[in-house]
Amino acid sequence: MTGAGRHVLEVEGITKTFPGVVANRSVSFDLAEGEIHCLLGENGAGKTTLMNIVFGLYRPDEGTVRVRGEEVSFSSSADAIAAGIGMVHQHFQLVPTLTVLENVVLGAETVRHGVLELASARRTLADLSDRYGLPVDPDALVGDLSVGIRQRVELLKALYRDADILILDEPTAVLTPGEVDEFLSTVRELVGMGKSIVFITHKLREVSQVADRITVLRNGEVVGRTTPAETSEEELAAMMVGRQVSFTVDVGTSDPGEVVLEVSGLVVDDNRGHAAVRDCSFAVRAGEIFGIAGVEGNGQRELVEALAGMRPVVAGDVRLRGRSLLGLDPRRIAELGVGHIPEDRTRHGLIGAFSVADNLVLNRYHRPPFARGLVRRRSEVTAHAEELVATFDIRTPGVDVPAAQLSGGNQQKVVVARELSRPLEVLLVAQPTRGLDVGSIEFIHRRLVEIRDRGTAVVLVSAELDEVLALADTVGVLYRGRIVASMPAAEADRHRVGLLMATGSEAA
């Protein structure tokens, strides 16, 4: 890791208010040439807001931004891009109906007489892919890609524009552990090639791996500046959330009852019509957390969507207490007591334009007490929302603001709060703590254990092997669409599960 050169980016005294919240209060921050500067802070601390200001998307109320010593006042991100700044956004900024190549060139197209010259762009993209180890299929539709690959496209977009100041807003939140390692080495390589990087993350392990310097935000203010050598993960966590955080939740002992959810011989296609889940069978008992470990892209998404009724089942059966769920629509399945915390919260979990309160009753808005006959009852909805906002510590100026205005982590909490706040037979959870700060992760883990202890059968899919190992009572390994092994938590150690995830068998 290189030491600090001159400052390529300096932010001074930035204040930014939104109706009802001060997102940044007099924040100062700088980035030295060739360094990785980690920006930490709990959900809603103001990290994204600060970086959106640097990237020209928001205008600050007060304060200055200097790039390579010169004061700038960007009126759009076009100006920031021209100044050599690239940003990978926390919520992907991709056009799903366009191809990878089209997404990459958009806004920076090479043209002859206005006609796109995609051939040269294709070569440049291939070069970048090679150089940084970021393979993509330039002609794939972005809408068909997994989140991991979309992340790659986002990074390539910034590199394609020759950015030398890179802002990475929670880039690893959606990656699998293997992908994270790869990504971190890409990031180090980028720095080696002279780029300077602002790195936002909630994963403290990554911070100690890559950071040169660390700045911590809380409630819109800088509460600490440090380096990995001077601090520890515990200290950082405490600095972020303002209290001591325990990293491991005491899961206690489970007391599984009868089988609630039974999946047998399930076959499910992916969006392109290829079998993604192949002959998958497992059973989950009441009061048990069944953790599914597996490298992303082995059918997790399709499996969960099929169980939730969002994707047609090609063959096999899904039974809830003996009753087949095949052919029921998602709403009916939810009404039978199946909760679902989806992987892609902005697409399947939330309606951004609806208020927080409405999002919190999205699966029940039409039933009592939230509606009487055809008439909705506002006051009930609001009271319910206020209660959940308090219990789940959702940081929002009010329950009436559109959900899209919440910080990323707080949007996730809205989805989790909605699903955990009603009695459930089965809870399907995919990546429940993606993008959450350490304090919230602790909180949600506790809630999952709690709901298990109340007798719900929990299916937990997570790209974080640690999360699966920490919470699951039974660990199943999903490999190429099939549960290749399933074992009690006591027998599941990192090494054994890792091998199964990678090869599908225990014989190395």
Ligand X SMILES: Nc1ncnc2c1ncn2[C@@H]1O[C@H](COP(=O)(O)OP(=O)(O)OP(=O)(O)O)[C@@H](O)[C@H]1O
- Separation of CA 162 from chain center: 26
Rounded Cα distance between 376 and 366, Å, is: 7
> Helix, strand or coil for residue 461?
strand
- Contact assessment for residue 299 and residue 274, using Cβ atoms and an 8 Å cutoff: no
In the chain, what is the greatest distance between 2 CA atoms, to the nearest angstrom? Answer: 70
Of 395, 418, 406, give the one whose Cα is nearest residue 353. 406
List the x/- string, 392-421, binding to Mg ion by CB under 5 A: ----------------x-------------
> Helix, strand or coil for residue 341?
strand
Contact between 44 and Mg ion by CB under 5 A: the answer reads: no
**Residues between 261 and 300 with contacts to Mg ion, criterion CB under 5 A:** none
List the x/- string, 354-393, binding to ligand X by CB under 6 A: ----------------------------------------
Nearer to ligand X, 89 or 152 (CB): 89
Q: With CB cut-offs between 5 and 8 Å by kind, which of ligand X, another protein, Mg ion, none does residue 11 bind?
A: none
Q: With CB cut-offs between 5 and 8 Å by kind, which of ligand X, Mg ion, another protein, none does residue 502 bind?
A: none
Nearer to ligand X, 207 or 428 (CB): 207
Residues binding ligand X: number (CB under 6 A): 20
Residue with tokens 């909760």: 339
Q: Candidates 40, 49, 60, 148: give the one binding ligand X (CB under 6 A).
A: 49
Q: Candidates 298, 355, 410, 462: give the one binding ligand X (CB under 6 A).
A: 410
Rounded Cα distance between 474 and 65, Å, is: 51
Rounded Cα distance between 302 and 310, Å, is: 9
What is the chain's Cα-based Rg? Answer: 23
Rounded Cα distance between 191 and 194, Å, is: 5
Q: With CB cut-offs between 5 and 8 Å by kind, which of ligand X, another protein, Mg ion, none does residue 43 bind?
A: ligand X
Nearer to Mg ion, 260 or 436 (CB): 436
Q: How far is the CB of 21 from another protein (least distance, A)?
A: 13
Residue 174: partners with Cβ closer than 8 Å, 6 or more residues away: 147, 148, 150, 151, 431, 434, 463
Residue 177 structure tokens? 């552990």
Q: How far is the CB of 206 from another protein (least distance, A)?
A: 24
Of 134, 129, 132, 101, give the one whose Cα is nearest residue 116. 101
Residue 451 structure tokens? 């709901």
Residue 274 structure tokens? 């290829």
Q: With CB cut-offs between 5 and 8 Å by kind, which of ligand X, Mg ion, another protein, none does residue 452 bind?
A: none
Nearer to ligand X, 47 or 311 (CB): 47
Binding site for another protein (CB under 8 A): 16, 52-53, 55, 57-59, 76-82, 87, 89, 92-98, 102-103, 105-109, 111, 114-116, 143, 157, 271, 305, 310-312, 329-330, 347-349, 351, 362
Q: How far is the CB of 20 from another protein (least distance, A)?
A: 15
Q: Candidates 405, 425, 487, 504: give the one binding ligand X (CB under 6 A).
A: 405
Three-state secondary structure of 370-415? CEECCEECHHHHHHHHHHHHHHCCCCCCCCCCEHHHCCHHHHHHHH
Contact between 43 and Mg ion by CB under 5 A: the answer reads: no
Q: How far is the CB of 312 from another protein (least distance, A)?
A: 6
Q: How far is the CB of 7 from another protein (least distance, A)?
A: 24
Ramachandran class of 107: left when φ > 0, alpha when ψ lies in -120 to 50, beta otherwise: left
> Helix, strand or coil for residue 191?
helix
Q: How far is the CB of 496 from Mg ion (least distance, A)?
A: 36
Q: With CB cut-offs between 5 and 8 Å by kind, which of Mg ion, ligand X, another protein, none does residue 108 bind?
A: another protein
Contact residues toward ligand X (CB under 6 A) are 18, 21, 23, 41, 43-49, 90, 395-396, 405-410
Contact residues toward Mg ion (CB under 5 A) are 48, 90, 408
